[in-house]
């Protein structure tokens, strides 16, 4: 019985020791355990797979993905960061720039401004030979001049009071609709996601006059096209108390974890006892493993197929749509390879031997 | 910057290059290497995982030979009653089904969640880990 439990533990949990992490990779493969058919089938997957939405904010969300392999969770994460397309400023035509910021730096900063425009309504511009059209390019103009504020009090010290346009902000970007873009984006005009991103600072007499061309791209090429601030996952912590921890020791035990993880309450015998209240809050710092008094009393583990997924969008697309897009991209990748295998012709000989 | 590789090399398949080439192993029976152009760990690892879950697969592994070389080599050996190509095709179909299932489930849970909570909490009232 004990061996059975140990085996189950090994199969479902990643165990954290002070100096190493034990059995991190999945072992649920056919042939690994006698008498068990662990081959993949859709019905079995449907039965075990669960998604629990934790919260959805304006720009971020957290959900639990339970019952998948790390490869799938990681593929989603990688695609969210690097392969879901967005629109970003790619070309900056500088007509005039007398600010102290060099053209290159200015262009780099402009590129990183998230542009609120649905990337699904645009096409990729493939290379320099592909002419810019209203389907693959968005045009913005940034024309700002800094002047003295004639109404400023002589006692004014703050630049914002003394001058007009001393701060160049993302709200100064003016969308210049091309072709049919006025009609296509009538309900949702293209604009920067956030209006108060500081681009540069100016003083009276300085001027910036640039034309900006946005193109569709992916985060793999440049991080400015990444639709997420971060997309990450972690495994659900599972803290196991092996022997009761009571009295003053329980309080010290509680201090080894972030607030809220361990509760200290009187047990049936009226003694203070530590229990695990909310393992999700644990950062798995392994502090508890440094104390000799808790040796053999606690085991830190993580559930191997329980991913706590968090998506923080830059605000271009809501996070819940980003996940759907990522799934579509992954399916598309598979279909491209499938089609290529078909095209290689070898498919028509299924039984070779 | 003059000798920097063109950035589109990461994802754009050049004309005349096959997306997938099968190189049959001459020494091991029922074994082949699939060379996938313009793919990386995203697909390589998912394929490896799915292949390992197939009882007909004796060996499956992948490598990205060089970080500047945007291609993946997938090595695969199967039992005698099938072929690596056939197994790969079957398993790609399973992956598509699996991802489709994840997507549907996610969308279902979203509608359920939106019916329960009226306004977006933006994470402040919800019990968050950090």
ipTM: 0.90
pLDDT above 90 for A209: yes
- Nearest Cα neighbor of A215 from A142, A135, A141, A143 is A135
Cα gap A99→A206, rounded to integer Å: 5
Say what the pLDDT of residue B115 is. Answer: 82
What gap in Å lies between CA A212 and CA A90, rounded to an integer? 8
φ/ψ of residue B47, rounded to 5: -65, -45
Residue A181, both tokens = 């873009």
Establish if A278 touches chain B: CB-CB under 8 angstroms: yes
Whole-number average pLDDT of chain A: 92
DSSP element (H, E) containing B102: helix B84-116
Of B36, B54, B114, the CB nearest to A337: B36
Percent of chain A predicted with pLDDT > 70:
97
Contacts of A106 (CB under 8 A, 6+ apart): A92, A94, A97, A99, A199, A200, A208, A210
**Considering only CB atoms, which chain A residues are within 8 Å of B117?**
56
- Chain B residues with CB under 8 Å of A257 CB are none
A112 pLDDT more than 60: yes
Is there a domain that residue B38 lies in?
Answer: yes
**Residue B64: inside a domain:** yes
Q: What is the CATH number of the domain that holds B30?
A: 3.30.1360.10
Query: Is B50 an 8 Å CB contact of chain A?
Result: yes
Contact flag A38-B122 (C-beta cutoff 8 Å): no
Whole-number pLDDT of residue A342: 83
Query: Tokens for B68?
Result: 């500047």
pLDDT tens digit string along A118-148? 999 999 988 778 899 999 999 999 999 999 9
CB atoms within 10 A of CB A151: 8
Nearest CA among A133, A137, A207, A212 for reference residue A173: A212
List CB contacts (< 8 A) between B127 and chain A.
278, 280-281
pLDDT above 80 for B6: yes
With a cut of 50, say whether residue A348 has pLDDT above it: no
In a 13 Å sphere around the CA of A42, the CA atoms on its Cβ side amount to: 13
Tokens coding B54: 């197939």
DSSP A287: G
Instruction: Name the maximum alpha-carbon separation found in chain A.
Output: 94
Q: Which residue has the tokens 């797979």?
A: A49
Q: Do B53 and A341 touch (CB under 8 A)?
A: no
Q: Which of A39, A59, A333 sits opposite B55 (nearest CB)?
A: A39
Work out the average pLDDT over A237-250. 95
Q: Is the pLDDT of residue A281 over 70?
A: yes
Cα end-to-end span (Å), chain B: 41
Closest CB to A69 among B49, B88, B103: B49
Q: Which CATH number fits domain A86-225: 3.30.70.2190, 1.10.10.10, 2.170.120.12, 3.40.50.10090?
A: 2.170.120.12
B26 within domain boundaries: yes
- Predicted pLDDT at A129: 82
**Angstrom distance (rounded) from CA A76 to CA A106:** 33
**Mind listing the pLDDT tens digit for each residue in B79-121?**
999 999 999 999 999 999 999 999 999 999 999 988 876 554 4
Residue B112: give the domain boundaries. 15-116
Q: What is the pLDDT of residue B24?
A: 93
Instruction: Judge whether B6 lies within some domain.
Output: no
pLDDT at A78: 97
pLDDT at A304 over 60: yes
The answer to the question of residue B4 being in a domain is no
Where are the domain boundaries for CATH 2.170.120.12 in chain A?
86-225
pLDDT at A3: 86
Strands (E), A127-261: 138-145, 147-148, 163-164, 167-169, 173-175, 191-192, 198-201, 207-217, 228-241
Give the DSSP H/E element, type plus range, for residue B72: strand B71-78
Residue B115 forms contact with A (CB below 8 Å): no
Q: Is the pLDDT of residue A350 over 60?
A: no
3-state secondary structure of A206: coil
To the nearest whole percent, how much of chain A has pLDDT over 90? 82
DSSP-derived 3-state class of residue B129? coil
Inside any domain, residue B121: no
B28 touches chain A (CB under 8 A): no
- A338 vs B45: CB contact, 8 Å cut-off? no
Q: How many domains does chain B have?
A: 1
Q: How deeply is B30 buried, as exposed, middle or buried, from its count of CB atoms within 10 A (0-12, 13-18, 19+)?
A: buried
Name chain B contacts of A30, Cβ cutoff 8 Å: 53-55
For residue A352, the model assigns a pLDDT of 38
Q: Are A323 and A31 in contact (CB under 8 A)?
A: no
Give the CATH architecture of domain A1-82+231-243+296-310.
Answer: 2-Layer Sandwich (3.30)
Crossing angle of helices B84-116 and A70-82, in 10° steps, is 70
Output the six-digit token pair for A259.
Answer: 């607030």
Task: Provide the pLDDT for residue B118.
Answer: 52
Q: Is residue B101 part of a domain?
A: yes
Report yes or no on B128 lying in a domain: no
Q: What is the structure's pLDDT at B124?
A: 42
**pLDDT value of position B1:** 65
């Amino acid at each position: 019985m004990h061996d059975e439990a140990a085996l189950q533990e090994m199969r479902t949990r990643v165990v954290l020791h002070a100096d190493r992490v034990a059995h991190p990779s999945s072992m649920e493969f056919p042939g690994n355990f006698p008498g068990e058919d662990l081959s993949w089938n859709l019905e079995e997957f449907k039965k075990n797979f669960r998604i629990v939405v934790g919260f959805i904010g304006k720009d971020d969300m957290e959900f639990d993905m339970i019952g998948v392999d790390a490869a799938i969770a990681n593929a989603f994460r990688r695609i969210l960061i690097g392969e879901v397309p967005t629109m970003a400023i790619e070309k900056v035509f500088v007509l005039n720039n007398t600010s102290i910021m060099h053209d290159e730096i200015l262009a780099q900063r402009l590129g990183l401004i998230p542009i609120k425009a649905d990337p699904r309504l645009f096409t990729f511009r493939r290379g320099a030979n592909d002419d810019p059209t209203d389907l693959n390019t968005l045009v913005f103009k940034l024309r700002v001049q800094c002047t003295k504020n004639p109404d400023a009090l002589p006692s004014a010290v703050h630049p914002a009071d003394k001058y007009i346009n001393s701060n160049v902000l993302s709200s100064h970007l003016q969308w210049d609709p091309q072709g049919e873009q006025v009609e296509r984006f009538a309900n949702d005009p293209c604009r920067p996601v956030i209006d108060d991103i500081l681009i540069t600072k100016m003083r009276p007499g300085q001027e910036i006059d640039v034309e900006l061309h946005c193109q569709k791209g992916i985060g793999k090429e440049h991080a400015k096209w990444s639709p997420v601030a971060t997309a990450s996952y972690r495994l659900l912590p599972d803290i196991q108390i092996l022997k009761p921890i009571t009295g003053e020791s329980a309080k010290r035990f509680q201090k080894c974890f972030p607030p809220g993880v361990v509760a200290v309450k009187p047990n049936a015998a009226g003694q203070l006892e530590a229990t695990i209240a909310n393992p999700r809050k644990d950062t798995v710092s392994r502090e508890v493993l440094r104390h000799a008094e808790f040796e053999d009393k606690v085991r830190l583990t993580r559930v191997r197929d329980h991913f706590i997924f968090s998506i923080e969008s830059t605000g271009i697309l809501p996070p819940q749509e980003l996940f759907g897009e990522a799934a579509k991209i992954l399916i598309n990748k598979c279909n491209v390879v499938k089609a290529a295998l078909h095209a290689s012709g070898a498919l028509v000989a299924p039984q070779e031997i | 910057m003059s000798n920097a590789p063109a950035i589109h090399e990461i994802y754009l398949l050049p004309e005349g290059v096959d997306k997938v080439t099968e190189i049959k192993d001459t020494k091991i029976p029922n074994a082949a290497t699939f060379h996938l152009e313009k793919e990386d760990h995203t697909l390589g690892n998912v394929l490896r995982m799915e292949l390992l879950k197939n009882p007909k697969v004796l060996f499956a592994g992948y490598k990205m030979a060089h970080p500047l070389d945007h291609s993946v080599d997938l090595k695969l050996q199967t039992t005698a009653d099938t072929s690596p190509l056939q197994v790969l095709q079957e398993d790609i179909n399973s992956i598509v089904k699996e991802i489709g299932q994840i997507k549907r489930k996610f969308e279902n849970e979203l509608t359920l969640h939106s019916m329960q909570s009226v306004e977006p909490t933006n994470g402040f009232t919800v019990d968050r880990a950090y």
